[in-house]
Structure 1
Amino acid sequence: MAMVVAAMEREARTAGAFVTVSSTMAASERQLETVRLLRALRPRALVLTSSRFMANALDGRLLKELDSYEREGGRVVIVGETDMSFDAIGFDDYGAGCSAGAFVAETGHRRVAIFGGVPELRNMALRTTGFMAGLRAGGIDERDIRVVFCDVSRQGGFDAARRLAEEGMDGVEAVLAVNDAVAIGAMSGFRAAGVVVPEDVSVTGIDDIPLAGDVTPRLTTVALPLAQAGVEAIRFALEKAGTGKRLTLEGRLIVRESTRTRV
């Protein structure tokens, strides 16, 4: 999210606008409270960023608040999945998962673990579903795919990797992590347990955060155009009126040293 916000700030400066940021930690009640507070300050636009904004959230109270704000002349733009009628920018999380899963299958891995398959986080669930589809399309039997539920964080990845290593790896040759933070944590967990990446197990992520290219080994990942999302969000926000348009941004596989081909 920091990459999205940084791009928003740069783009806003070119248009003579100013960006302020408030973190709600994806808590619906806090999102509603923040929108109400910001409405009182009469900003030119509100850009909401989260994995999912649904019209029925909080019994429709958030939608009602945003509708009222637009009727008063404001602009609402959402970065993330939504069924609301505001302009929105999203990512092809399912496609990113498919790309990573297909790559792991194509490089000869036949027993795979997915780290962070959290059903309550819509974008992470879509990535997990995409992983499964890509792996199956590459000829991997579903019985050889293990979904490991863990916190979507570096610590969550670390703990999941340590548990898997303590169990003897169960034949797992590759780990697909729902984001780079989980993947980087997993690599640390494997290192602490004496499991070598990528010789013993390949690891991939999604997002391509800056740290992905700095860790050792450098992380194979699907790069999502996070900065582009920030730029487009500001462009949408500075337009005179919303039309309910949707923009979906696709990822790009970046192969680095955390994965290897198995024969």
Structure 2
Amino acid sequence: MPHPARPTVTLKDVAAAAGVSVATASRVLGGSARTVAPRFASRVLEAAATLRYTADVSARAMRRKSDAIALIADDLTTPSIAQVVAAMERQARTVDAFVTVSATRGEAERQLETIRTLAGFRPRALVLTSSRIRPGALGGRLVDELEAYERDGGRVVIYGGIDMPFDSIRVDDRASARLMGAHLAATGHRRPIILAGTRDRAYAAERTSGYMEGLLGGGVDAQDVRIVNCEVGRRGGYAATARLLADDTTGGLSGADALVAVNDDVAVGALAACRAAGVDVPGRLTLTGFDDIPLAADMTPRLTTIALPFADIGARSIRLALTARDPGRGPVRETVVGALVEGASLRVR
């Protein structure tokens, strides 16, 4: 039985969905030289992708590339990605380009659809930031789509530890976390609990492994380290810590001397749970994070964490994206290692 034809999507439909004028939508989708504020341009591109408005745009885009650099991320609400996007925007503005952003929730089908749609608008470059891109997903179609885009003259840059044939910048989460584990061991911590996030997050697994390597290398007994999985975020950190505090069957936090969070958001939630239960940080318990988001410096006590240069990563990603790739060389592979920032949330034991 034939499927009913998909209703024709007009420019007016896209403009209405994005909450902008038809003229603004036309400038974004038609590759106009007139500047459109990034937040409006992003909304138009998101609406066009959702409504699958591509045919007319592709035809017009064949005449010229746009001034956009398209950023594709898993989640645009995290503090770390906000820093990366802000730095990308600043760097792009130096060459009169602007950054548009799309979120995929790390889902392979949505990643593929977003890449395919945005490539039809012929941006200068696609920058992907994700810990959940699998090169073999969907039978390799995602890689095929990106390679086709590059053959058409586009540039692909990936921020993340992804084994794909494109220029990339990655954080060595394991080596960075090892610094924290070693520091905790050196300051006398012997019974830490690692709030490890969820198993589907590659970076979380790497950080947990790094923490363990640093702790064990510093003389901590593996039997004295507890690993607790939790939702990645403030809510997850709070819930996991509250459960530990209330769980008499496993001893709760009894005997533990440190909570080692997979990122600063989780640490913020853990601190809130400790305060609600009257647990002194760092008098009773050391607390550490990872990322060094702005909130980490504003916490009381100031969070001990691993600082990542998100602004530098964002700016460097754009510089790579705007640099013509030499066909005679292989992909650029850059690695960043974080730095330990010791705050008042750590107490020497």
The verdict on a shared fold, with TM-score over 0.5 as the criterion, is: yes
**Residue-pair matches, total:** 262
Secondary structure at 1:20 match in 2: strand
Give the alignment of 1:125-144 within 5 angstroms: 125-144=205-224
User: Equivalent residue for 2:103?
Assistant: 23
User: Equivalent residue for 1:71?
Assistant: 151
The alignment's TM-score, normalised by the length of structure 2, stands at 0.73
Question: Does residue 260 of structure 2 align to residue 176 of structure 1?
Answer: yes
User: Equivalent residue for 2:281?
Assistant: 197
User: Equivalent residue for 1:7?
Assistant: 87
Q: Which amino acid aligns with 1:253?
A: L
The alignment's TM-score, normalised by the length of structure 1, stands at 0.97
Which structure carries more strand by proportion?
1
Which structure would you say has the larger RCO, counting Cα contacts within 8 Å and 6 or more residues apart? 1
Give the alignment of 1:227-246 within 5 angstroms: 227-241=311-325, 243-246=330-333
Higher gyration radius (CA): 2
Question: Does residue 337 of structure 2 align to residue 253 of structure 1?
Answer: no
Secondary structure at 1:47 match in 2: strand
Pick aligned residue for 1:216 from 295, 300, 303: 300
CA offset digits 1:198-242 (Å, max 9, x no partner): 111101011000000011111100001111110110011001116
Distance, in Å, in 1 between the alignment partners of 2:143 and 2:255 is: 48
Distance, in Å, in 2 between the alignment partners of 1:192 and 1:26 is: 34
Distance, in Å, in 2 between the alignment partners of 1:29 and 1:208 is: 32
Distance, in Å, in 2 between the alignment partners of 1:57 and 1:217 is: 43
Return the offset for 1:106. 0.9
Q: Which amino acid aligns with 2:88?
A: M
Task: Check whether the contact 2:232–2:265 (CA below 8 A) recurs between aligned residues.
Answer: yes
Pick aligned residue for 1:115 from 195, 199, 203: 195
Task: Check whether the contact 1:164–1:170 (CA below 8 A) recurs between aligned residues.
Answer: no
Q: What 5-or-longer segments of structure 2 have no aligned partner?
A: 1-80
Return the offset for 1:145. 0.2
Distance, in Å, in 1 between the alignment partners of 2:266 and 2:138 is: 30
Give the alignment of 1:27-176 within 5 angstroms: 27-167=107-247, 168-176=252-260
Distance, in Å, in 2 between the alignment partners of 1:20 and 1:143 is: 48
Task: Check whether the contact 1:53–1:84 (CA below 8 A) recurs between aligned residues.
Answer: no
Q: Which amino acid aligns with 1:257?
A: A
Distance, in Å, in 1 between the alignment partners of 2:285 and 2:228 is: 15
Distance, in Å, in 1 between the alignment partners of 2:180 and 2:82 is: 23
Q: What 5-or-longer segments of structure 1 have no aligned partner?
A: none
Distance, in Å, in 2 between the alignment partners of 1:91 and 1:225 is: 10
Task: Check whether the contact 1:53–1:81 (CA below 8 A) recurs between aligned residues.
Answer: no
Moved more, 13-22 or 74-83: 13-22
Runs of 4+ in 1 over 2 A off after TM superposition: 116-119
Distance, in Å, in 2 between the alignment partners of 1:90 and 1:177 is: 21
Secondary structure at 2:199 match in 1: coil
Secondary structure at 1:76 match in 2: strand
Return the offset for 1:250. 1.0
Q: Which amino acid aligns with 1:210?
A: P
